[in-house]
Amino acid sequence: MDDVYGAMGRLLTREWILRIEDALLMAGIDMSPEAFTGMVLLLVFGIPIPIFIFLSKALPDLALLIAGGIMVFFGVAVYVLLRMRVDSRKKQIEEVLPDFLQICAANVRAGMSIERALWFAARPEFGLLSEEIANTTRRTFGGEPFTQALKRLAKKFDSRQLNRTVNLIVEESSSGGEVATLLDKCAWDARQVQILHKEISEMMLMYVIFIVFASCIGAPMLYGLSYQLIHATNKIWQEIQIQNPQGFPKVGVMSLVQPRPPKITTDDFYKFAIIATILVTFSASFIIAVVNTGVWINGFKYAPFFIGLGLVIFFAVTMVFGLVFAELFS
């Protein structure tokens, strides 16, 4: 089966295969890029095409639109899941990197070589970073050059901190400098970055609360109230038209400003309100993701909750104001 997937994956250019290989490496997926590409192509095209053939007879006007939407959904879903996995691995190692570097610096000061210092610093509490460091040191003990093994480690994570630390270690070890001092400085810098991120998150907390309230509560409430006002206005105009079939008489200046019923129907505004609520909450999820994590792709984590909360508020407000207006106009 892997051969079939690989044959399908080779339909892409070599440049795209290399990009996918780097993405799989950073995501920690042990699979050849050709096989992964073949599986994605089969998912993106293998399911929508039969659906298009089936719907082309029953719904010829919508068949292409539905099939295209399914293709886009599967393609975006694969990309989002892959990027979220890459970001998750990055967070796991950056959280423990300062402590790991400090222990490694202490081991070097104790007289260990940098390879053994990395090996003994890889403790179980460091999780993913310890596993990757252990694999790196095994390859080093197996004969692979130390600098090459470290560079291979840096390519497995989309982390600027790790890449910078690896480059500095490689340069310092090749020039015979103070590796322990360098590791302490790298650990201090990584710790300062973590503290700075926390301070920024605390400073932006009020903006986050405002955005969440405005998008998930304020906007749906206004949409729900507006819907009921339009519904009540249309009801009043219907009663006026029943009582005055000829409409308002044109008298003098009033002929220029003769009242007319609104052209917006309740059904039109109801559809608009639902679509607008989804778009507003969906956009807000990405803004919150950028503010909190600095990565927009994490907005897909918040989007289902934000959209669900916004729709619940809209339907609840619509129902409550519907009961209120029903009492007023009964």
**158 phi, psi to nearest 5 deg:** -90, 60
Q: How far apart are CA 117 and CA 111, in angstroms?
A: 9
Domains recognised in the chain with CATH numbers:
2-89 (no CATH), 92-198 (1.20.81), 204-240+263-328 (no CATH)
**Mean pLDDT of the region 171-195:** 84
Q: What's the gap between Cα 283 and its chain centre? A: 11
Residue range 287-304, pLDDT digits in tens: 998 888 778 888 898 999
Please state the pTM of the whole predicted model: 0.78
**Mean pLDDT of the region 205-229:** 91
Mean pLDDT over the full length of the chain = 83
**Mean pLDDT of the region 8-24:** 84
- Per DSSP, the three-state class of 129 is helix
What is the 3-state composition of the chain as percent helix, strand, coil, each rounded to the nearest 5?
85, 0, 15
